[in-house]
Amino acid sequence: MTELVVLASAEGEPIGTAPKAEVHTTDTPLHFAFSAWLTCGGKVLVTRRALSKRTWPGVWTNAFCGHPAPGEETADAVLRRASFELGIAPADLSAPRLILPDFSYRAVDSSGTVENEICPVYTVELAADAAWEPNPDEVDSFQWVEPANLFAAADAMPGVFSPWMIDELADSALRAAL
């Protein structure tokens, strides 16, 4: 099954779809996405992207990201992607909480591949007793960290992390939510 992303106008309106596998290139069109932060017991999850990922392989980032499918509510896409990337049952998650509704970014990785996304940012709380297992095609490794330690690491060494994570953490609303 071909995964589609929803393309966006400069005004943030849907203008069509395209296959995800064909969108992320050196000339990526603006499209809709989301970024999600997972918390549990006062800690926040950071993940290292699988080395096989097309963009930013091996880079540390927030818990997971994705794209809403055509006609799919973004909060529903967050739950779908949590299941796909981290193996988390939706019943083990709180309802996604929208923190940065107007976040967008454009970044170019070392291969020249461009991310160009309207990318609202969510937080989701994981039940303490939840069983989960990251998908190795998505996640190389992970670490639960204290928010203050994450903020300090991101401030001191931004090049270690994904550019969208650094930009998101620059917003005081996200830092307060974590």
pLDDT one-digit tens code per residue, 24-65: 999 999 999 999 999 999 999 999 999 999 899 999 999 999
Structure tokens that stand for 140 in this block: 């190389």
Say if CB 7 and CB 17 are below 8 A apart: yes
Catalytic residue among 3, 22, 65, 138: 65
Q: Is 3 a catalytic residue?
A: no
Mean pLDDT, rounded, for 146-155 = 97
What is the pLDDT, as a whole number, of residue 143?
98
Which of the residues 22, 40, 72, 117 is marked catalytic?
Answer: 117
At residue 141, the 3 state secondary structure works out as strand
Domains of the chain, by residue range, sit at 4-177
Is residue 119 flagged as an active site residue? Answer: no
Indicate the pLDDT class of residue 103, thresholds 50, 70 and 90.
very high
Does residue 44 contact residue 147 with C-beta atoms inside 8 Å?
A: yes
Question: Which homologous superfamily does the CATH classification assign to the domain defined by 4-177?
Answer: Nucleoside Triphosphate Pyrophosphohydrolase (3.90.79.10)
Structure tokens at 168: 């998101």
Q: In this predicted structure, what is the pLDDT of residue 44? A: 98
Q: What is the pLDDT of residue 1?
A: 78
| pTM of the predicted model over 0.75 | yes
Measuring CA to CA, which residue among 36, 33, 37 is closest to residue 12?
33
